[in-house]
Amino acid sequence: MSAPVSSDDPLSPPLVSPGRFCGSRVVVTGAAQGIGMAVAARIAMEGGHVIGVDRSTLVEDVCAQISSLAHDGGRADPLTADLETWEGAEAVADRSGTVDVLVNNVGGTIWARPYSEYSPEQIEAEIRRSLFPTLWMCRAFLPAMVAAGAGTIVNVSSVATRGVNRVPYAASKGGVNAITAALALESAPHGVRVVATAPGGTLAPERKIARGGAPESKAERRWYQEIVDQTVDSSLLKRYGTLHEQAAPICFLASSEASYIDGSVLPVGGGDQG
State the catalytic residues: 169
Contact 274, 204 (CB under 8 A): no
Which residues, in sequence order, are CB contacts of 186 under 8 Å at separation 6+? none
Beta-carbon contacts of residue 260 (< 8 Å; ≥ 6 apart): none
Whether 250 and 216 have beta carbons less than 8 Å apart is answered as no
CA-CA distance, 36 to 41, in Å (whole number)? 9
User: In angstroms, rounded to a whole number, what is the distance separating the alpha carbons of residues 213 and 192?
Assistant: 39
Strands (E), 138-191: 151-156
